[in-house]
Amino acid sequence: MGSTGNEGSGYWYGPDGQLDYGAAVLKSLRDYRAAETAVRRSTRDSMGMGETDILALRFLLRAQASGKAVVPKDLSQFLGITSASTTSLIDRLVASGHVRREAHPSDRRSIVVIPTVQSDTEVRETLGAMHRRMMTVAEGLTADQAHVVVDFLQQMTDALSVRDGHQKSN
């Protein structure tokens, strides 16, 4: 394990000088989140988009890849925003050339929101190298290591989902 940068402070080390593994793991999680936040900020800046816009675009690209048609209500539910906010979001994404509106294939009263080819290309160019580096790290795990990591992260997710002894509703 590399240096935590806090060896002399006693914060990550117990009174006997031994590494406090629980604290070191939580610090590593915070370090990862800080790095991820910095990448997200950089991505938003380079694409000239806000966080909600990026989340919407990623949702639309995943849906498109799986062959699913997305209506505005799907975006509203996924993002947890009102229909008026969703309309404004779609208007911004249409104006920036990231999505287009099309008639729904089976419901004449509705529209679907579709990411443009340029959006897919831009996201791949912006995030592709980082995703490849992350996948290389993940693929370097043995099956047992992957199981431990997935189990740990799921338990952490569950721990964060509990508020005052009650499970958060999703």
User: In 48-165, where does DSSP find H-type helix?
Assistant: 51-65, 72-79, 83-95, 117-139, 143-160
What's the number of CA atoms in the CB half-sphere (13 Å) around residue 25? 7
CA nearest neighbour of 33 among 165, 166, 164, 160: 160
Q: Given this model, what pLDDT does residue 8 score?
A: 44
Tokens for 10, please give them.
Answer: 């006693």
Q: Is the separation of the CB atoms in 92 and 48 below 8 Å? A: no
Alpha carbons 66 and 59: distance in angstroms, whole number: 11
What architecture does CATH give domain 51-115?
Orthogonal Bundle (1.10)
Query: What is the rounded CA–CA span in Å between residue 105 and residue 137?
Result: 41
What is the pTM for the complete model shown? 0.66
Report in angstroms the alpha-carbon separations of 81 from 76, 78, 86, 123, 149.
5, 8, 7, 23, 32
pLDDT at 12: 57
C-beta separation of 112 from 69 below 8 A: yes
Residue 168 pLDDT: 57
Q: Which amino acid is at 159?
A: A
pLDDT for residue 166: 62
Tens-digit pLDDT string for the chain (170 aa): 444 444 444 455 566 667 788 888 888 999 999 998 898 888 888 888 888 998 999 899 999 999 999 999 999 999 999 999 999 999 999 999 999 999 998 888 899 999 999 888 888 888 888 889 999 999 999 999 999 999 999 999 999 888 765 655 54
Residue 120 amino acid letter: D
Q: Are residues 63 and 40 in contact, defined by beta-carbon separation less than 8 angstroms? A: no
